[in-house]
Chain A
Amino acid sequence: MIQRLRSAIPYILLTLLTTPILIGYIWLIISSVSIRTYGLRPEGLTLENWSFLTAPIRSRPGIWQVLFSTLAFAIPLGLLDATISSMAGYALSRLKFPGRRMFLSFTIILHAFPSATLLIAIFFVLRAVKLYDSILGVVLVSVSLSLPLGIWLMKGFYDNVSWDIEMAALIDGCSRLRTWWSVFLPIIRPGLAALLIFSFLGGWGAYIIPYTFLVTASIQPISVFLQSLTGDYTFVNYGVVTAVGLFQLTPVLIFYLFTQRYLLNLYSGGMKGGA
């Protein structure tokens, strides 16, 4: 009995800790289909809050336009981040070149750098290169801000592949590039997939960068759209806000459900037993 109780303790603790978050999710769902809520108690069920799916909310762009803008931002962000990180990570892990050490230390420093402090400087840069208020602009900014972490993570994965395997590939007849493509990429694929997903999700939920550098409503991603619903001087309809929030959240949840195996890889930093 004592034994059972002891093994139950972690579960009890975890349950207590997750309850507030769980209640938040439950409220979100309830609120999105009610006219009003008193705590968790809904008053009047309705699908009115979800009408944004078919008709634009007041003067704002339609939700499918917003969704398209979000994907147009998040997909290139994920692809670019993963591509560049996988190449730079290989170079930092395997090649000797002048400035390698400096590169490595900069990677860590830049990762630790709070990006919000750069906003004003980035604004001037984007204006100068005429990329202010364009999706390409925010993609480039977001990629460069997420590269340090991506490169660092990828380097870790490459470091885990033994030199013997690389030498074997070179002797078997590969060029350096071919070794990277045919031997390394397949081996680190779990890590690469994790980074891609991670980066994409980062773009999906990104707020501060798009909010600062995109002013045209039709190219703003969903998180900025969501914020605009609460930023009006008019009465805030929390039913609609929660419905849109849920709309943004659902794909992420589903995505996590299917990809968590890969995402866990990123934190363990290796592929022992996997691959």
Chain B
Amino acid sequence: MEISLENISKHFGKVKAVDEVGLKVPDGEFVALLGPSGCGKTTLLLMLAGIYKPTAGKIRFGEKVVNDLLPKDRKIGMVFQSYALYPHMSVYENIVFPLRLQRVPADQVRQRAQKMAELVQIQALLDRKPGQLSGGQQQRVALSRALIKEPDLLLLDEPLSNLDAKLRIAMRAEIKRLQKDLGITTIFVTHDQLEAMTMAYRIALLNNGKLVAYSQPHDLYDHPKTLFAAEFIGSPPMNFLRIRIEEKGGGVVLRGDGIQMPLVGEIAQKVKAIGVGREVILGIRPEDINMVADSGDAKAEVYVIEPLGRDMLVDLHVQAAPVRVLAPPTFNAPIGASVPLNFDRKKIHLFDPQTEQALLN
């Protein structure tokens, strides 16, 4: 089912928890609502669930406006961060509770529960109480309770944040696969950009109640439209350096404290168009910097080296500014050593320090 939000706002007194958010989720798509805590993503989800009523704007399920529809009439399933299993019911009773409420005939209830239990592999747990289950098992139960109704829309509120790191990776893949197999339109809330990147087909990035970006993960990663998006997406996060655009000969130089980065060709023209003499913020991801050439765009001092196994995360200082670089595991320089940095010309981002908007693209 296609979901559309038309200028949705939710105010709690003077606080604008959600501020004129508009977005469309095509049928069968998997969308992440991503943002730091307090950005309004859960409020948005609860409006979709029908728990909160929007202060302004329209929510459409398909063609139908559902603003005033009660949660029970929305044909949705939801998994909560705390799983919210009914502690007094067995796993089986938890799963079939939505069917009981719909007065589904008993033989069908059993059948569908069986199918659901197989799907999420909890057949052995049906007689247990939620209190006797591990976090991962509880999550599977919550998932099957949400899915057994065959909902038109599945809502997931931070579904993985209560799991340990290893299980989280496993469930990430499993939920993604399940969503693909069942083809249910799914919206999930997360504060973890990695979760959003890996699972979602599209990411809605929220900040202070406003929608700041809505596009596919790789697009959000490669072409962030705002400083906030650039900062929030990616781990380790993008580096930011204050620089000035200066003209030199026919080309352009980005100059900052300890930085001197000459540009030529197409990129030089683009940067020139931004305005010679302007102070801007240079953004560059840790993997787009290398430390091999002799004379680089910047001179940096090694501060800390963190081996990640597959590569090394090197913390450096360019004068006072911190810069992180992902280096190959062979990287070998003592702490305090001076190393050159080379920035990949194709991967640089420039942002206006006032409006925080991207200037290239």
Which A residues form the contact surface with B (CB < 8 A)?
162, 164-165, 167-175, 178, 183, 186-187, 189, 273, 275
The 6 closest A-B pairs by CB, nearest first: A173-B101, A164-B84, A168-B84, A186-B88, A172-B98, A164-B80
A-B pair count, CB < 8 Å, reads 64
Q: How far is the CA of A173 from the CA of B103 in the complex (A)?
A: 11
Among B51, B85, B88, point to the contact of A167 (Cβ < 8 A): B51
Among B74, B78, B102, point to the contact of A168 (Cβ < 8 A): B78
User: Inside 8 A of B86's CB, which chain A residues have their CB?
Assistant: 165, 168-169, 183, 186-187
Q: How far is the CA of A175 from the CA of B98 in the complex (A)?
A: 12
Is the CB–CB distance between B88 and A171 below 8 Å?
no
Given contacts A183-B86, A186-B88, contact A171 B81 (CB under 8 A): no
Most buried by B among A162, A170, A171, A173: A171
Nearest A residue to B101 via CB reads A173
Is the CB–CB distance between B72 and A187 below 8 Å?
no
Query: Is the CB of B342 closer than 8 A to any CB of chain A?
Result: no
Chain B min CB distance to A263 (Å):
20
Chain A min CB distance to B130 (Å):
10
Given contacts A167-B51, A173-B98, A178-B101, contact A162 B72 (CB under 8 A): no
Query: Is the CB of B145 closer than 8 A to any CB of chain A?
Result: yes
Chain B min CB distance to A262 (Å):
15
Given contacts A173-B72, A187-B88, contact A167 B101 (CB under 8 A): no
Is the CB–CB distance between B88 and A173 below 8 Å?
no
Which B residues form the contact surface with A (CB < 8 A)?
46, 49-51, 70-72, 74, 76-78, 80-89, 97-98, 101-102, 131, 145, 149
Nearest B residue to A271 via CB reads B87
Q: How far is the CA of A175 from the CA of B87 in the complex (A)?
A: 19
Is the CB–CB distance between A174 and B84 below 8 Å?
no
Is the CB–CB distance between A170 and B84 below 8 Å?
no
User: Inside 8 A of A165's CB, which chain B residues have their CB?
Assistant: 84, 86
Chain A min CB distance to B202 (Å):
23
User: Inside 8 A of A189's CB, which chain B residues have their CB?
Assistant: 88
Chain A min CB distance to B98 (Å):
4
Is the CB–CB distance between B71 and A170 below 8 Å?
yes
Q: List 13 A-B contacts (CB under 8 A).
A: A164-B84, A167-B84, A168-B145, A170-B51, A170-B71, A170-B72, A171-B78, A172-B98, A172-B101, A173-B101, A175-B70, A178-B101, A187-B88
Q: How far is the CA of A168 from the CA of B82 in the complex (A)?
A: 11
Among A174, A183, A186, A275, point to the contact of B72 (Cβ < 8 A): A174
